[in-house]
Chain A
Amino acid sequence: MTKKMHITITVNGKEEEFLAEPRELLIYTLRERLNITGPHIGCDTSHCGACTVTLNGKSVKSCTMFVAQADGAEVETIEGIGGPDALHPLQVAFKEHHGLQCGFCTPGMITRATKLLEEIPNPTEEEIRFGMAGNICRCTGYQNIVKSIQAAAAEMSAAKEAAE
Chain B
Amino acid sequence: MKDEVDTREDRVANLKGMGCSRKRVEDARFTQGKGNYVDDIKLDGMLFGDFVRSPYAHARITSIDIEEALKVPGVLAVLTAADLEPLGLHWMPTLAGDKQMVLADGKVLFQGQEVAFVVAEDRYAAADGIEAVVVEYEELPVIVDPFESLKSDVVLREDTVGEDSAPIDGAHGPRKHHNHIFTWEAGDKAPTEEVIANAEVVAEETMYYHRTHPCPLETCGCVASMDKVNGKLTLWGTFQAPHAIRTVVSLISGIEEHNIRVISPDIGGGFGNKVGAYPGYVCSVVASIVTGKPVKWIEDRMDNLMTTAFARDYWMSGKISATPEGKITALRCQVTADHGGFDACADPTKFPAGFMNICTGSYDIPTAYLEVDGVYTNKAPGGVSYRCSFRVTEAVYFIERMIEVLAIELGMDAAELRRINFIKKEQFPYKAALGWEYDSGDYHTAWDKALKAVDYDALRAEQVQRVEDFKAGKTRKLMGIGLSFFTEIVGAGPVKNCDILGLGMFDSCEIRIHPTGSAIARLGTISQGQGHATTFAQILASEIGLPADSITVEEGDTDTAPYGLGTYGSRSTPVAGAATAMAGRKIRAKAQMIAAYLLEVHDDDVEFDVDRFVVKGAPEKFKTMKEIAFAAYNQAIPGIEPGLEAVSYYDPPNMTYPFGAYVCVMDIDVDTGVPDIRRFYALDDCGTRINPMIIEGQVHGGLTEALAVALGQEIAYDNMGNVKTGTLMDFFLPTAWEVPNYETDFTVTPSPHHPIGAKGVGESPHVGGVPCFSNAVQDAFRAFGLRHTNMPHDHWRIWKTANELGLHG
- Whether B728 and A139, one on each chain, are in contact in the complex, defined by CB atoms closer than 8 angstroms, is no
Q: Which 5 A-B pairs have the closest CB atoms?
A: A38-B33, A103-B30, A104-B268, A102-B529, A141-B700
Additional A-B contact list (11), CB under 8 Å, known A32-B123, A40-B37? A35-B42, A40-B39, A42-B218, A42-B219, A50-B217, A87-B31, A98-B697, A102-B529, A103-B26, A135-B735, A139-B217
- Whether A45 and B727, one on each chain, are in contact in the complex, defined by CB atoms closer than 8 angstroms, is yes
Nearest CB of B to A124, in Å: 13
Name the contact of B27 in the complex, choosing from A39, A41, A103, A107 (C-beta under 8 A): A103
Q: In the complex the two chains form, what is the Cα distance from A136 to B739 in whole Å?
A: 11
- Whether A43 and B728, one on each chain, are in contact in the complex, defined by CB atoms closer than 8 angstroms, is yes
* Closest A residue by C-beta to B699: A141
Report chain A residues within 8 Å CB of B73. 1
Report chain B residues within 8 Å CB of A23. 124
Given known contacts A130-B737, A146-B736, A102 and B33 CB-to-CB distance under 8 angstroms: no
A129 CB within 8 Å of chain B: yes
Interface hit among B145-153, B198-206, B314-322, B701-709: B701-709
- Whether B31 and A48, one on each chain, are in contact in the complex, defined by CB atoms closer than 8 angstroms, is no
Q: In the complex the two chains form, what is the Cα distance from A138 to B702 in whole Å?
A: 9
- Whether A101 and B703, one on each chain, are in contact in the complex, defined by CB atoms closer than 8 angstroms, is no
* B interface, CB within 8 angstroms of A: 23-24, 26-35, 37, 39-40, 42, 73, 122-124, 215-219, 266-269, 271, 300-302, 528-531, 693-694, 696-698, 700-705, 727-729, 733, 735-737, 739, 741-742
Name the contact of A133 in the complex, choosing from B122, B266, B700, B736 (C-beta under 8 A): B736
Name the contact of A28 in the complex, choosing from B23, B123, B693, B700 (C-beta under 8 A): B123
Interface hit among A3-11, A66-74, A75-83: A75-83
A13 CB within 8 Å of chain B: no
Report chain B residues within 8 Å CB of A98. 23-24, 693-694, 696-697
Q: In the complex the two chains form, what is the Cα distance from A100 to B529 in whole Å?
A: 8
Given known contacts A42-B218, A98-B697, A128 and B736 CB-to-CB distance under 8 angstroms: yes
- Whether A32 and B122, one on each chain, are in contact in the complex, defined by CB atoms closer than 8 angstroms, is yes
Residues of chain A in range 111-139 having any CB-CB distance to chain B below 8 Å = 128-130, 132-139
Given known contacts A79-B32, A138-B215, A138-B216, A95 and B737 CB-to-CB distance under 8 angstroms: no
Nearest CB of B to A4, in Å: 12
Nearest CB of B to A106, in Å: 5
* A interface, CB within 8 angstroms of B: 1, 21, 23-24, 28, 31-32, 35-45, 47-48, 50, 77-79, 82-84, 87, 90-91, 94-96, 98, 100-107, 110, 128-130, 132-146
Report chain B residues within 8 Å CB of A104. 35, 37, 216-218, 268-269
Instruction: Report 30 cross-chain contacts, Cβ distance below 8 Å, ordered by A residue.
Output: A23-B124, A31-B39, A36-B33, A43-B727, A78-B31, A79-B32, A87-B32, A94-B27, A95-B23, A98-B24, A102-B30, A102-B266, A102-B267, A102-B268, A103-B529, A104-B216, A104-B268, A105-B217, A106-B30, A107-B30, A129-B739, A134-B735, A135-B736, A136-B728, A138-B217, A140-B697, A140-B701, A141-B703, A143-B700, A144-B700
Q: In the complex the two chains form, what is the Cα distance from A41 to B37 in whole Å?
A: 11
- Whether A47 and B701, one on each chain, are in contact in the complex, defined by CB atoms closer than 8 angstroms, is no
- Whether A96 and B23, one on each chain, are in contact in the complex, defined by CB atoms closer than 8 angstroms, is yes
Q: Which of B32, B73, B700, B742 has the most CB of A within 10 A?
A: B32
* Closest A residue by C-beta to B728: A47
Q: In the complex the two chains form, what is the Cα distance from A38 to B36 in whole Å?
A: 9
Q: In the complex the two chains form, what is the Cα distance from A48 to B733 in whole Å?
A: 9
Report chain B residues within 8 Å CB of A28. 123
- Whether A106 and B729, one on each chain, are in contact in the complex, defined by CB atoms closer than 8 angstroms, is no
Q: In the complex the two chains form, what is the Cα distance from A39 to B217 in whole Å?
A: 13
Name the contact of A82 in the complex, choosing from B32, B702, B737 (C-beta under 8 A): B32
Given known contacts A40-B218, A105-B217, A100 and B729 CB-to-CB distance under 8 angstroms: no
Given known contacts A21-B124, A44-B301, A77-B33, A102 and B736 CB-to-CB distance under 8 angstroms: no
Name the contact of B300 in the complex, choosing from A40, A44, A84, A94 (C-beta under 8 A): A44
Q: In the complex the two chains form, what is the Cα distance from A50 to B698 in whole Å?
A: 21
Report chain B residues within 8 Å CB of A140. 697, 700-701, 704
Report chain A residues within 8 Å CB of B300. 44
- Whether B32 and A83, one on each chain, are in contact in the complex, defined by CB atoms closer than 8 angstroms, is yes
Nearest CB of A to B387, in Å: 10
Report chain A residues within 8 Å CB of B215. 138
Nearest CB of A to B780, in Å: 23
Q: In the complex the two chains form, what is the Cα distance from A106 to B24 in whole Å?
A: 14
Nearest CB of B to A22, in Å: 11
Given known contacts A38-B33, A47-B729, A91-B31, A103 and B736 CB-to-CB distance under 8 angstroms: no
Q: In the complex the two chains form, what is the Cα distance from A100 to B24 in whole Å?
A: 9
Report chain A residues within 8 Å CB of B24. 95, 98
Q: In the complex the two chains form, what is the Cα distance from A38 to B37 in whole Å?
A: 10
Nearest CB of B to A77, in Å: 7
Main secondary structure, interface of A, reads: loop
- Whether A45 and B301, one on each chain, are in contact in the complex, defined by CB atoms closer than 8 angstroms, is yes
Nearest CB of A to B369, in Å: 37
Name the contact of B728 in the complex, choosing from A39, A48, A142, A143 (C-beta under 8 A): A48
Nearest CB of B to A80, in Å: 9
Report chain A residues within 8 Å CB of B39. 31, 37, 40-41
Report chain A residues within 8 Å CB of B217. 40, 42, 48, 50, 102, 104-105, 136-139
Report chain A residues within 8 Å CB of B23. 95-96, 98
Nearest CB of A to B324, in Å: 42
Report chain B residues within 8 Å CB of A106. 30-31, 35
Given known contacts A35-B42, A42-B218, A142-B739, A136 and B123 CB-to-CB distance under 8 angstroms: no
* Closest A residue by C-beta to B703: A141
Nearest CB of A to B536, in Å: 16
* Closest A residue by C-beta to B21: A98
Report chain A residues within 8 Å CB of B269. 101-102, 104, 138-139
- Whether A142 and B704, one on each chain, are in contact in the complex, defined by CB atoms closer than 8 angstroms, is yes
Name the contact of A142 in the complex, choosing from B37, B216, B530, B736 (C-beta under 8 A): B736
- Whether B42 and A95, one on each chain, are in contact in the complex, defined by CB atoms closer than 8 angstroms, is no
Q: In the complex the two chains form, what is the Cα distance from A140 to B216 in whole Å?
A: 12
Report chain A residues within 8 Å CB of B700. 140-144
Name the contact of B530 in the complex, choosing from A39, A101, A128, A144 (C-beta under 8 A): A101
- Whether B733 and A138, one on each chain, are in contact in the complex, defined by CB atoms closer than 8 angstroms, is yes
* Closest B residue by C-beta to A134: B735
Nearest CB of B to A44, in Å: 5
Q: Which of B528, B530, B700 has the most CB of A within 10 A?
A: B700
Given known contacts A28-B123, A102-B216, A104-B268, A37 and B33 CB-to-CB distance under 8 angstroms: yes
Q: Which of B29, B40, B122, B736 has the most CB of A within 10 A?
A: B736
Nearest CB of A to B710, in Å: 14
Q: In the complex the two chains form, what is the Cα distance from A43 to B215 in whole Å?
A: 10
Report chain B residues within 8 Å CB of A100. 27, 30-31, 529
Report chain B residues within 8 Å CB of A139. 217, 269, 529, 697, 701
Name the contact of A38 in the complex, choosing from B34, B266, B741, B742 (C-beta under 8 A): B34
* Closest A residue by C-beta to B707: A141
* Closest A residue by C-beta to B42: A35
- Whether A103 and B124, one on each chain, are in contact in the complex, defined by CB atoms closer than 8 angstroms, is no
- Whether A37 and B530, one on each chain, are in contact in the complex, defined by CB atoms closer than 8 angstroms, is no
Report chain A residues within 8 Å CB of B216. 102, 104, 138
Nearest CB of A to B178, in Å: 37
Report chain A residues within 8 Å CB of B266. 102-103
- Whether B705 and A129, one on each chain, are in contact in the complex, defined by CB atoms closer than 8 angstroms, is no
Q: Which of A21, A45, A77, A143 has the most CB of B within 10 A?
A: A143
Q: In the complex the two chains form, what is the Cα distance from A96 to B27 in whole Å?
A: 9
Q: Which of B124, B217, B530 has the most CB of A within 10 A?
A: B217
Report chain B residues within 8 Å CB of A95. 23-24, 27-28, 31
Q: In the complex the two chains form, what is the Cα distance from A1 to B37 in whole Å?
A: 32
Report chain B residues within 8 Å CB of A83. 32
Q: In the complex the two chains form, what is the Cα distance from A26 to B231 in whole Å?
A: 38
* Closest B residue by C-beta to A41: B39
Given known contacts A35-B42, A98-B694, A141 and B124 CB-to-CB distance under 8 angstroms: no
- Whether A144 and B27, one on each chain, are in contact in the complex, defined by CB atoms closer than 8 angstroms, is no
* Closest A residue by C-beta to B302: A44
Report chain B residues within 8 Å CB of A24. 124
